[in-house]
Chains A and B, each alone.
Chain A
Amino acid sequence: ETGVTQTPRHLVMGMTNKKSLKCEQHLGHNAMYWYKQSAKKPLELMFVYSLEERVENNSVPSRFSPECPNSSHLFLHLHTLQPEDSALYLCASSQAGGASNEQFFGPGTRLTVL
C-alpha cells in the first residue's frame, strides 16, 4: 500500500449503530487529520493529531470520537449519529514542520446515516 488509505470506502449505518472509520498513512508523516465534506459546503477540519496527540478539535459533537494509537493510524469512532452527519469523511497526513505543509489525502469514506 502507498500513500493514505481509508476503510471502508462506503458505510451505511442507522442512528443507533456504532462503527469506526480507519485511516492509515504509509508516508512516514507525523500529523494526521480528519475532514468532513458535505455537499455544497466547504471542507471542514474536524480533528488534528500531531505526534499522536490531539492538538485541535473544531467543536465537533461528542458522537464523533477520534483515536490515534500511533503515527501511522487514525480512527474515527462513530455512535448515535444523525442524518445530517452523512458526508464524505477524508483523512489526510503531513509532515508537521516540513518544507511546505503539504497534506496528502486518502480517498475518503462515504457515510450515509439512515
Chain B
Amino acid sequence: AQSVTQLGSHVSVSEGALVLLRCNYSSSVPPYLFWYVQYPNQGLQLLLKYTSAATLVKGINGFEAEFKKSETSFHLTKPSAHMSDAAEYFCAVSDDDYKLSFGAGTTVTVRA
C-alpha cells in the first residue's frame, strides 16, 4: 500500500528565505509523485510531478523537487520565498492504479 508522510504541519519563513517542505513516501513499486498547492477557499493546483524521468523536477512559481529513491523522499524547495507563497502544500503518491494518496498537508506562512 502506498502512503505519504509530510514532516511538519506548519512552516514559517521570512520573505526571501529558502522554503523547504519535506515529503517521504512508501510504495511497493516505482511511484509517481506530486506536489499540489491550495490557496484559501480554492481547489488543489499541481505544482510539479515526478514520473520517472529526471530526478530533479522543476515546477511552477519557482518551485522544484528532487526524487531520492534511496531516501524515499521527494522534498519541495524554493530558493526565495515570496508573500504569495503562503498557502497549504500537499504531497501525493500514486503507483499502479489511478488513485492518489495525499499527505496531511503543510501550511506555509511568509513573514515580511
Contacts and interface: CB of A to CB of B under 8 A. Distances in A.
Contact of A42 (B34, B49, B98, B104): B104
A108 B39 CA distance: 12
Given A48-B98, A99-B51, A104-B46, 10 more contacts: A43-B90, A90-B44, A92-B43, A100-B32, A101-B94, A102-B49, A106-B43, A107-B42, A108-B42, A110-B41
B11 interface: no
B98 A97 contact: yes
A101 B100 contact: yes
A50 interface: yes
Contacts of B72: none
A31 B36 CA distance: 19
B28 to A, nearest CB: 15
B74 interface: no
Nearest to A97: B98
Interface residues of B, number: 21
A107 B49 contact: no
Interface in A14-54: 31, 42-43, 45, 48, 50
Contacts of A31: 98
B29 to A, nearest CB: 12
Contacts of B55: none
Contacts of B46: 102, 104
Interface in A81-114: 88, 90, 92, 94, 96-108, 110
A69 to B, nearest CB: 20
Contacts of A4: 43
B45 interface: yes
Contact of A45 (B32, B51, B99): B99
A107 B43 contact: yes
A6 B43 CA distance: 10
A31, A99, A101 — most chain B CB neighbours (10 Å): A101
A48 B42 contact: no
Contacts of B90: 43
* Top 6 closest pairs, chain A to chain B, by CB: A105-B43, A101-B94, A96-B98, A105-B44, A100-B51, A42-B104
